[in-house]
Amino acid sequence: MSKTPNFFVGKTIFITGAGGGIGRSAALIFAREGANIVVTDIDESAAIATANLVKEKGKEALAITVDVASRASIDNGMKLATNRFGRVNFLFNSAGAAVARSKFLDITDQLLEKTLAINLYGTYYAMQAVLPHMLERGGGVIVNVSSMTAKRGGPGTSVHYAAAKGAVDSMTMGVAREFADRNIRCLSISPGPVNTQFQAASNSPPEFMQRAIADVPMKRAAEADEIAELVLFMCSDACEYMTANTVYVNGGGGFR
């Protein structure tokens, strides 16, 4: 939560992967605080559905179909966002996917390339699209989604995904330190298991989520809102001295 009343009112957040999960929760939570919401997702109908939920709360929302694996698509989305709202104060790179679970020796070039395109390149493209705008406007905040797998390595199921998210962590730190003296903060979050459609999208077997929850001392998965509230705090003026960090939000688990 911000320390200044109405801190988010009139400010704009650009969210990738906002058609569901953590991205949708973030859209609704930032709308609750008065922000304008740029809802982007590769699924047009999902983006529109999230934007409509925001509008039902009486807040401004723009739905844009964006493929984060395409620089041109992200650049177009950012242009539409700035044309509509004038500026983008916050970028939340929520889009991501493990694509498919695989043992290391079974990872194909195609699986690795697609995983990197969605998780790493998408984050990279979005940051390159928004940073010149933030520099021109005097600052901003970027929050990227990493993963606990970046710390654990994803053995047996997700080395390709862990590698992509490890690169996101490194890029977050580099961008944060390069632009820290120009009022731009860049952070990442590393969630543990979350109750979203993420696992289903990667065709994870039911026991995968069960094992992940068993490793959490709280013995439950997070809800998407619990992650999104952290993103709100990280973007707020109550968090102005934090940058270059990865924040682990995992119920106490995931470090073995």
pLDDT at 255 over 70: no
Give 144's pLDDT tier (boundaries 50, 70, 90): very high
Tell whether 146 is covered by a domain: yes
Residue 119 carries which DSSP code? I
pLDDT at 219 over 60: yes
Tell whether 6 is covered by a domain: no
Residue 254's pLDDT is 64
- Domains of the chain: total: 1
- Angle at alpha carbon of residue 73, lines to 69 and 74, rounded to 5°: 80
Indicate the pTM of the whole model. Answer: 0.96
Residue 206's pLDDT is 75
Tell whether 7 is covered by a domain: no
Burial class (CB in 10 A: 0-12, 13-18, 19+), 163: buried
Q: Write out the residue range of the structural domain in which residue 78 sits.
A: 12-248
Residue 84's pLDDT is 98
First CA to last CA distance, the chain = 31
pLDDT digits 0-9 by tens, 77-116: 999 999 999 999 999 999 999 999 999 999 999 999 999 9
pLDDT at 256 over 60: no
pLDDT digits 0-9 by tens, 127-138: 999 999 999 999
Give 124's pLDDT tier (boundaries 50, 70, 90): very high
Residues 6+ apart with CB under 8 A from 240: 185
Residue 253's pLDDT is 85
For position 218, which CATH number holds? Answer: 3.40.50.720
Query: Which residue numbers are catalytic?
Result: 161
Tell whether 254 is covered by a domain: no
pLDDT digits 0-9 by tens, 166-211: 999 999 999 999 999 999 999 999 999 999 987 766 567 778 788 8
Provide the phi-psi class of 65: left if phi over 0, else alpha when psi is between -120 and 50, else beta: beta
CA distance 106 to 112: 11
